[in-house]
């Protein structure tokens, strides 16, 4: 047993060894399986067949991590300083701001990381095993390497298996490999370099048996399985910080250094002038408080939260606040194909029968659609059911009938839609026949099945024997065999083919091969159909009955078609300067065909690469490939991760969409992972930053638009809120250095920065999108939070605010002789100027200007700005006129004349806004 343990614990592969060799290596028996004693010993060594779940962070730690931001550090320190100086009111307000920010962030991210737990759930099931030569059903958790497992249609594969026997075995591995159709399994030896998606002699945990039977020996359980290795990579991949958090961290760090430098300068210069250290310490604190934009974290959080709500209304659920802005800055969307860009429903789209081509309309398993002949002379408006009874269409009817009867699947009406129970390919054949009025249950009653030869990879066909009516619409007397399979397998058994008039004529194999190649070039999966008449006395079926004498009926080509809305969404993303790349586990031919239909061409060309090609590339070659390629097919999970990392290394902001287990590591690594909310696996949903509730790629385009709007509104908030801090800081710094009375006190600064700023800035979060939102290219991801032009705008308005505060304070002090009145008038004049500036950066101000110019403009979308301005005016009236506020903030009531004088700065601010808008327009 020790040899088996050592081998199973190694990283050896099994697809390149025979089934017998694998059983011997694992010290198992290919027919009797393990003994109960051996199974118990191995279970003690390997543990249960389940994925180890990494404990999530405790709630208290996740809450404390919400404070892990440099800007909040500054606020916490400022609050501590105020508390040290005895200003507990100021300290409590500042700490309250940080607490509110932390609570909002915690609520948004309160769901524990459940990706690993979802993976564990994906592989928990029952298993049928043979132990000591006896069949028994056990929990999949009890499986150990060396166990002999039996598989049948409908089973979930409980562990990684090396197949020993198969009989028509087909397994759906789409969640693991991205392959859109079930994989036909065999027991044949494969090369050591065979990619995961092509290891036909293996069955992997978490996949589903759609057809046939088989048996295999367990080679890996728990974390050692392929899905377990994805679990480990998901566990080890750390989510990257988003562009917004990176920029805020850099901005906060820079601001921290500037504030500490200026505060230190103020303190030591004052000491050098012979002033008391307590006085200079108060001035340094006032400077620090004035320079810190206390309201900015709250405004940013509220803006992102509003973006989350807007996206939810457009079918996009955001799990982490910064993901809102990240999506708006996306430069590349890497999309999975199956179920994301496509319907994940096989659909017959083309038929060739009796030298006639037919087009089949409709998508997926919806029964609506038409089968129309394609001719050069007509536009094919004629529906098939109206002409199918004529002799010219007998071959087509026979071809469709063969697809319905040589079929082990069926349609089921469930949850207000048709679903296929069984193989998706066979479901597509049933739907195609229904579009021609051929009903499967009715045909099964008319031509009951007598015997079957299931599909086997070595023969490449499936055959059924049916008891025919004595006189039937098909026109045959006796029993009948229907066969479907690959063109090569069918052609070599046919001597005749059905012509347009319903007669059997000599076979034209060359023409049929050309037609099959034409369909395959379109990315269609091609199946051939044939029939054979046999005597009524024959009630059993054998391979020898199919060696010759078949009559070729036709070809049916099918594909998992692209979503109609996905085509429009891709076009909209490309118009917005966002690259769209398809990354799939499917075949390159199929993927390229879908990409061509969707419109993924780059510079007029469609460049594709396979996973094998990517594996052979160096990092520099991969860097060029991700830039030029639009399609990446047969890609393994590790390669998806590598592609995302390669794009990120080039400075791209990567959004990754997906719905399968195999997508989870890349979803977690991407700047923003987007999972399907309905059709996606639990693993993908838990690993993602955003979920699409309608599984519609078109919702991504809507979410990108909302994300860009959020960033635009954040930029407006920064452009509005920072000039006040700039003006206040300059005022306090210059006053302190000149040994003059401060025009504004630290408690008054706190009022402006927290109450007034938040009241006037939060409405900017509700700003609507503009017509130009999706007309602009993505912003440069390397652009700092304070770009050069934005910095110039902030600097210009800050200087104006400094002049305004200083000038109004000096004038009022000399005029009234009351320092409290002078400070109050300076603050009110600043707020009056801010109202004009707020209108200039908002949609409301632009709408008012447009109306004055006689152009159409809606102001209803900007009512939040109006409410914010009204609220700010009411608060400022209370700030100066209410005696309670006078006592708290050292203000004084103003007369009507003084109020009017405070409104004078609104005029020069109006001209200033026209100037700064030329430097840096906010929309």
C-alpha radius of gyration, the chain, whole number? 36
- Of 824, 818, 875, 831, nearest to 727 (Cα)? 831
Q: Please give the Cα distance from 469 to 477 (Å, whole number).
A: 7
Eight-state DSSP code of residue 224: G
Helix (H, G, I), strand (E, B) or coil at 531: strand
409-434 exposure pattern, b = at least 16 Cβ within 10 A, e = fewer: bbbeeeeeebebebbbbbbbbbbbbb
DSSP state of 150: E
CA 810 to chain centre: 58
Q: Which residues of 235-262 are buried (b: 16+ CB within 10 A; e: fewer)?
A: bebeebebbbbebbbebbeebbeebeeb
CA distances, 461 to each of 353, 456, 509 (Å): 19, 7, 18
How far apart CA 563 and CA 546 sit, in angstroms, is: 40
Q: Which is nearest to 384 in space by CA: 436, 440, 438? A: 436
DSSP H helices in 143-238: 174-177, 226-236
Task: From 427, 397, 428, select the one nearest 410 (Cα to Cα).
Answer: 427
Separation of alpha carbons 649 and 653, rounded Å: 10
Q: Which position among 155, 336, 423, 695 bears the catalytic label?
A: 336
- Give catalytic status of residue 336 as yes or no: yes
For 853, counting Cβ atoms within 10 Å of its Cβ (0-12 exposed, 13-18 middle, 19+ buried), the class is exposed
**Greatest extent of the chain over all pairs of C-alpha atoms, in Å:** 121
Provide the H-helix boundaries in 240-328.
243-272, 277-291, 295-313, 322-328
d(CA 297, CA 289): 15
DSSP 660-686: SGGGHHHHHHSSEEEEESSSS-HHHHH
Report the C-alpha gap between 913 and 837 in whole angstroms.
6
Contact 676, 684 (CB under 8 A): yes
The pairing of beta strand 410-414 with beta strand 134-139 = unpaired
Using DSSP, state whether 744 is helix, strand or coil: coil
* Strand-pair partners of 633: 610
CA distance 646 to 638: 12
CA distances from 701 to 313, 567, 590, 712, 850 (A): 14, 11, 25, 17, 29
Enumerate the active-site residues.
Answer: 336
């Amino acid at each position: 047993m020790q040899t088996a343990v050592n081998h199973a614990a190694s990283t050896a592969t099994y697809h390149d060894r025979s089934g017998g060799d694998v059983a011997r290596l694992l010290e198992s028996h290919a027919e009797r399986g393990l003994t109960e004693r051996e199974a118990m010993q191995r279970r003690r060594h390997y543990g249960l067949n389940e994925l180890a779940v990494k404990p999530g962070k405790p709630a208290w730690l996740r809450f404390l991590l919400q404070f892990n931001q440099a800007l909040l550090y500054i606020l916490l320190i400022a609050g501590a300083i105020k508390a040290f100086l005895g200003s507990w009111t100021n300290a409590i307000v500042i700490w309250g701001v940080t607490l509110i920010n932390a609570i909002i962030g915690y609520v948004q991210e309160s769901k524990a990381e459940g990706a690993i737990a979802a993976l564990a759930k994906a592989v928990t099931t029952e298993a049928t095993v043979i132990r000591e030569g006896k069949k028994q059903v056990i929990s999949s958790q009890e499986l150990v390497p060396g166990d002999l497992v039996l598989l049948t249609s409908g089973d979930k594969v409980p562990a990684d298996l090396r197949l020993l026997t198969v009989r028509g075995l087909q397994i759906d591995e789409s969640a693991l490999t991205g392959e859109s159709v079930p994989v036909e399994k065999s027991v044949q030896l494969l090369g050591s370099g065979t990619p995961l998606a092509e290891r036909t002699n293996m069955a992997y945990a978490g996949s589903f048996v759609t057809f046939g039977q088989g048996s295999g020996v367990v080679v890996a359980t728990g974390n050692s399985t392929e899905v377990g290795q994805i679990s480990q990579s998901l566990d080890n991949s750390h989510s990257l910080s988003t562009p917004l958090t990176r920029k805020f961290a850099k901005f906060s760090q820079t601001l921290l250094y500037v504030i500490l430098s200026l505060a230190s300068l103020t303190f030591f210069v004052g000491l050098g002038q012979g002033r008391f250290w307590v006085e200079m310490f108060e001035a340094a604190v006032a400077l620090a408080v004035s320079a810190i934009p206390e309201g900015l974290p709250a405004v940013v959080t509220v803006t992102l939260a509003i973006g989350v709500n807007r996206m939810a209304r457009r079918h996009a659920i955001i799990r982490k606040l910064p993901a809102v802005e990240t999506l708006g800055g996306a430069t590349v969307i890497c999309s999975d194909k199956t179920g994301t860009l496509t319907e994940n429903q096989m659909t017959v789209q083309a038929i060739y029968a009796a030298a006639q081509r037919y087009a089949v309309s409709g998508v997926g398993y919806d029964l609506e659609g038409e089968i129309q002949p394609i001719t050069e002379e007509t536009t094919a408006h004629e529906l098939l059911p109206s002409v199918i009874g004529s002799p010219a269409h007998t071959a087509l009817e026979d071809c469709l009938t063969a697809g319905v009867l040589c079929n082990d699947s069926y349609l089921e009406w469930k949850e207000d839609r048709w679903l296929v129970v069984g193989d998706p390919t066979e479901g597509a054949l049933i739907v195609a026949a229904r579009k021609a009025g051929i009903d499967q249950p009715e045909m099964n009653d008319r031509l009951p099945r007598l015997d079957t030869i299931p599909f086997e990879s070595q023969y490449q066909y499936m055959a059924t024997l049916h008891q025919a009516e004595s006189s039937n619409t098909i026109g045959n007397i006796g029993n009948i065999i229907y066969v479907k399979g690959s063109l090569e397998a069918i052609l070599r058994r046919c001597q005749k083919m059905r012509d347009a008039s319903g007669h059997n004529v000599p076979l034209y194999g060359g023409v049929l091969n050309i037609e099959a190649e034409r369909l395959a070039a379109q990315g269609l999966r091609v199946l051939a159909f044939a029939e054979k008449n046999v005597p009524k006395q024959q009630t059993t079926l054998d391979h020898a009955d199919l060696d010759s004498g078949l009559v070729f009926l036709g070809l049916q080509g099918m594909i998992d078609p692209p979503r109609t809305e996905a085509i429009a969404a891709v076009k909209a993303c490309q118009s917005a300067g966002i690259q769209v790349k398809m990354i799939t586990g499917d075949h390159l031919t199929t993927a390229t065909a879908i990409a061509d239909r969707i419109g993924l061409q780059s510079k007029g060309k469609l460049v594709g690469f396979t996973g094998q090609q990517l594996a052979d590339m160096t990092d520099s070659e991969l860097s060029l490939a991700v830039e030029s390629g639009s399609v990446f097919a047969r890609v393994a999970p590790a390669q998806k991760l590598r592609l995302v990392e390669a794009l990120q290394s080039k400075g791209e902001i990567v959004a990754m969409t997906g719905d399968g287990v195999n997508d989870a590591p890349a979803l977690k690594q991407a700047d923003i992972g987007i999972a399907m909310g309905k059709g996606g696996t639990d693993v993908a949903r838990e690993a993602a930053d955003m979920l699409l509730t309608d599984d519609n790629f078109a919702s991504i385009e809507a979410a990108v638009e909302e994300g860009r709007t959020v960033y635009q509104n954040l930029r407006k908030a920064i452009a509005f809120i920072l000039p006040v801090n700039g003006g206040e800081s300059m005022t306090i710094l210059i006053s302190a250095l000149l040994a003059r009375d401060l025009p504004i006190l630290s408690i008054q600064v706190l009022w402006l920065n927290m109450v007034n700023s938040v009241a006037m800035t939060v409405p900017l979060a509700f700003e609507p999108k503009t017509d130009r939102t999706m007309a602009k290219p993505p912003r440069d991801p390397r652009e700092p939070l304070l770009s050069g032009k934005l910095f110039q705008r902030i600097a210009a308005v800050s200087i104006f605010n400094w002049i305004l505060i200083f000038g109004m304070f000096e004038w009022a002090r000399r005029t009234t002789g009351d320092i409290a009145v002078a400070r109050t008038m300076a603050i009110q004049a600043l707020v009056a100027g801010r109202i004009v500036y707020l209108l200039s950066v908002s949609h409301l101000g632009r709408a008012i200007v447009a109306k004055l110019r006689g152009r159409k403009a809606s102001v209803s979308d900007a009512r939040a700005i109006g409410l914010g301005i009204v609220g700010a005016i009411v608060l400022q009236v209370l700030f100066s006129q209410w005696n309670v506020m006078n006592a708290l903030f050292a203000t004084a009531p103003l007369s009507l004349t003084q109020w009017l004088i405070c409104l004078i700065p609104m005029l020069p601010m109006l001209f200033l806004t026209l100037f700064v808008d030329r430097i840096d327009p906010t929309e």
